Structure formats: structure tokens, C-alpha cells
Chains A and B, each alone.
Chain A
Amino acid sequence: MTMTPRLRKFALTAHVTSSVGWLGAVLVFLALAVVGLTSQHAQTVRGVYLVMEPAARLVLVPLAFASLLTGMAQALGTPWGLFRHYWVLFKLLITVFATIILLGYMKTFRIMAGVAADPSADLALVRNASPLLHATLALLLLLVTATLAVHKPRGLTRYGWRKQHEQRAPSQP
């Protein structure tokens, strides 16, 4: 299935927007994580861990799924395909992996928000280095996918090689 040029441009715009938006949102979480660990104001520290859960649910998760789905549509609707080129396959695997980790991490966000919402909980219990670690790793993964998308390094999968040969074969005498 090949998309029309207009639809292809729309899908590409949606994919770039959602992917870059996801990367930007992760940067904001990185900043929040640093503020949560370093701020001297108790209310600011509690506020950071309280806001992370709804922000992740309303921004990170939708952007992750939007990036994944628009990327798949973009690959399947163009000659690139989903499993023909290694760079596309790696992007898909990294995005699926990051989305699964994010969905699993939502429970941690809820636990941290629960501790932060309890006024009797000590501030040392509220502070948590885990979001800093996870946001850093997420940022690295998303930078790898962005680099792959821009450079598109050569390399056909075995399936892509076979398909390419099948397409060329009928045109040969």
C-alpha cells in the first residue's frame, strides 16, 4: 500500500511532530527530576512528584503512542516498509521498548505521587533519583531514533533483500 503524496506529507508531519514532542516532554521530565532532587523548598519538591503522574499520563503516553502509530503508518505507506531496512526496524523496536517501559513506569509515578501527597511523609522519602535515571535513558533512546531517522544508514534485512530482488526480477529479460 502506497500513500498519496499529500497523505504521505501529512503522515510525516504527524510523525515528526509527535516524536520531537515526545523528546521535548522527556527533557521537561529531566528538568523536573533535577528540581525534585535539588530544590530546598518542600512544597516545590512535593509538587514535582505530584505533577509527574498526570503529566506522564496526559502527555508522555499519548505522544509515545502517536509516535509509534504514525511511524508504523509512515513505514507501511511508503516503499521503506516496516521490516525491509534495519534502521526502520531498529526505530520500531526502540519505540516499542520505550513505550512498554513508560507504561510500566506509570505505577512508579503513582507511588511517588502518593508519597508526595502525604504531609506526614519525610521529604527524604519524597525525593527520588529514579525519574532522573529513567528520563536520561529515555532521552538517549529517543536521540538514537532521531539520529537513525535523519541519517537512514544503509542495510537491508534478509526480507528486504528478497523483496527487492523479487521486484527487480520481472523487469529483467
Chain B
Amino acid sequence: MTDSPRYPGAPRWVKVFGIIAIVVVLLLVVLKLTGHHGPGRHMRSGDVGGHASSSSVARENEHDDYLDAKAIGKAQRKARRP
């Protein structure tokens, strides 16, 4: 009876892919936890490249205010219905 050959381990390309995947997932988790990512929390125009200018931050806040106002208006209309 012969012993089964030992598992040679994962090839190098798998290790490289694995490290990249872990870094990407960690980055997404950090962005999610810090509130910089998720539906409705994306960059506005002019932010390509990840450099948010003060005007774009202002537009982001303006956009959120706009969405809040829309949600409040919708809730008020719903409440007024008989």
C-alpha cells in the first residue's frame, strides 16, 4: 500500500488573486462602515478619480436634502389620504 501524495498547495496566481480579493473586500467593508458607500451615497459629477471637491461635497449634501424633502413630501401626501 502506498501513501497518497501530499497536496502541493495552491499555485502562485491563486495566492495573488486571493490577496487582491481580500484587499478589495476589506476596502468595501471599510467604505460601508464609514458611510462612504452604498445606495444614494455615491459621488456626484466632477468627482471622477475620487477627489471630492468642496463644491461636490456641497452638491452631495444638496442631493441628500433633495431626497429627504421628496421622502417627507411623499409621507405627508400618504398621511393626508383618507
Contact = CB atoms under 8 A, between A and B. Distances in A.
Interface residues of A, number: 31
B39 A165 contact: no
Contacts, number: 70
Pick from B45, B46, B62, B67 the residue with the most CB of A within 10 Å: B45
Nearest to B50: A133
B45 to A, nearest CB: 4
Interface in B45-82: 45-48, 59, 62-63, 66-67, 70
Interface residues of B, number: 27
Nearest to A169: B4
A125 interface: yes
Nearest to A124: B59
Interface of B: 2, 4-5, 7-8, 10-11, 13-14, 17, 21, 38-40, 42-48, 59, 62-63, 66-67, 70
Interface of A: 37, 86, 90, 93, 104-105, 107-108, 111, 114-115, 118, 121, 124-125, 127-130, 132-133, 153-155, 157-158, 161-162, 165, 169, 172
